[in-house]
Amino acid sequence: MPTLPHPVSSLPTPLGGQLIGRVARAEPAELAGLPRLELSERSAADLELLATGAYSPLTGFLGEADYLSVIEHLRLADGTPWSLPITLPVSRAAARGLRGRVVLTRDGAAVGLIEVQEHFEARRAWEAREVYRTEDEAHPGVAALYAGGEINLAGPVTLFEVPRGAFAQHHRTPAEVRAVIEARGWRTTVAFQTRNPVHRAHEYLHKVALELVDGLLLHPLVGTTKGDDVPAEVRVKAYEVLLDHYYPAPRTLLSVYPAAMRYAGPREAIIHALSRRNYGATHFIVGRDHAGVGSYYGTYDAQEIFSAYSAEELGIRILKFEHTFYCQSCGQLVSPRTCPHDASHHLVLSGTRVREKLRGGEPLPAEFTRPEVAEVLRAAYTAPALAPGKVAPV
């Protein structure tokens, strides 16, 4: 009987040509006597993204040649596009005892292995200037960088088990997301990343994009964020209630992105796009101040930086949107491209102002966010059991 040919996938090829997979269980006896290294929350997130292929073509934490090339050229040493140094920093004292196979732990439990092949000096001041465009430790990414050790360990990693955590229903590896996309027959998929609660402007971007493609991958980041960001469980709940009422279920997939937030603005936008290519997306939305914080980056720097690569290198199409908002005179969501009215006609609420309203018990305007989402946020910021004047520790 003749062998039937395998169907040709319409999904983009992972960066580097294949999806990395380095998840494998280990027997306790294999780990006996090996040195151990406790991971930070950010490094644990990186371990998962490396091992599941979200960071393909990386197989582990960067060596020195790749580290230097990424910082200076936004490419790995072999020329592959890559914009953030994915490193494993340790103290100089700790580094002396970490050679060969090292057990990686989280809260004392073994979660993976690294085959340490290199120790090299972290150029933290240079990295801060080039990657974050500042050495100001008020920047959360710079603060995390300086809080790490002086030495970076490099080498391939193994993850023992994918940590599904609090979002088991929505926590999918790149291979699993790709399988869903293929099962649904989507030939084109747009991915959307956010660390903020969903609001009407987000919904507008999603639905404009859905006019162009077959499916929408809503991919909220659920790793470490700065202390005043809305917690991941609240943001995911807001997506769930929104999807229940306002999105076409066959054309929408909610799945969490387990990365830690670095707030690296333009550089982080590139990684967000490349990793979504690895998840199977053909398009990626980049809006106003993507992955930004404070005033460290220009409003559209995260869109402009993609000109550093050709379309073929990126392998994912970038959909660039301007700032969108509700215009009271137009009576709808608009952007500077479509609205003739000045700012006095616009309803624009910053994240800070939203939190102030919630803490003060004020309702959020329906033009800003759906009532169902507003209720999720209100509940998160209100704790009836607390004394008057207190708010839930969000």
Instruction: Determine, yes or no, domain membership for 140.
Output: yes
Just list the catalytic residues: 195-196
CATH number for the domain that contains residue 248: 3.40.50.620
Question: For the chain, how many structural domains are there in total?
Answer: 2
Give the number of other Cβ atoms within 10 Å of residue 392's Cβ: 16
Instruction: Determine, yes or no, domain membership for 312.
Output: yes
Query: Which of 159, 176, 197 marks a domain boundary?
Result: 159
176 with 297, same domain: the answer is: yes
Strands (E), the chain: 36-38, 60-61, 88-90, 100-106, 109-116, 118-121, 151-159, 189-192, 215-218, 252-254, 283-286, 317-320, 325-327, 332-334, 346-347
Query: Which of 100, 133, 159 marks a domain boundary?
Result: 159
Query: Which of 159, 175, 204 marks a domain boundary?
Result: 159
100 with 245, same domain: the answer is: no
Q: What is the pLDDT of residue 8?
A: 55
Instruction: Determine, yes or no, domain membership for 195.
Output: yes
Q: How far apart are CA 16 and CA 31, in angstroms?
A: 31
Q: What is the pLDDT of residue 383?
A: 52
264 with 116, same domain: the answer is: no
120 with 187, same domain: the answer is: no
Instruction: Determine, yes or no, domain membership for 66.
Output: yes
- Which residue range(s) make up the domain with 225? 167-380
In sequence order, the β-bridge partners of residue 109 are 106
Q: How far apart are CA 4 and CA 375, in angstroms?
A: 53
Q: How far apart are CA 374 and CA 358, in angstroms?
A: 9
92 near 149, Cβ under 8 Å? Answer: yes
100 with 241, same domain: the answer is: no
CATH number for the domain that contains residue 150: 3.10.400.10
Instruction: Determine, yes or no, domain membership for 390.
Output: no
126 with 226, same domain: the answer is: no
90 with 34, same domain: the answer is: yes
171 with 89, same domain: the answer is: no
260 with 324, same domain: the answer is: yes
139 with 262, same domain: the answer is: no
**Prediction pTM value:** 0.93
Instruction: Determine, yes or no, domain membership for 112.
Output: yes
Tokens 């004020």: give the residue. 362
Instruction: Determine, yes or no, domain membership for 362.
Output: yes
188 with 110, same domain: the answer is: no
Digits of tens for pLDDT over the chain (394 positions)?
444 444 557 899 999 999 999 999 999 999 999 999 999 999 999 999 999 999 999 999 999 999 999 999 999 999 999 999 999 999 999 999 999 999 999 999 999 999 999 999 999 999 999 999 999 999 999 999 999 999 999 999 999 999 998 899 999 999 999 999 999 999 999 999 988 888 899 999 999 999 999 999 999 999 999 888 888 999 999 999 999 999 999 999 999 999 999 999 999 999 999 999 999 999 999 999 999 999 999 999 999 999 999 999 999 999 999 989 899 999 999 999 999 999 999 998 877 788 788 878 888 888 899 999 999 998 888 754 333 333 333 2
Instruction: Determine, yes or no, domain membership for 5.
Output: no
315 with 221, same domain: the answer is: yes
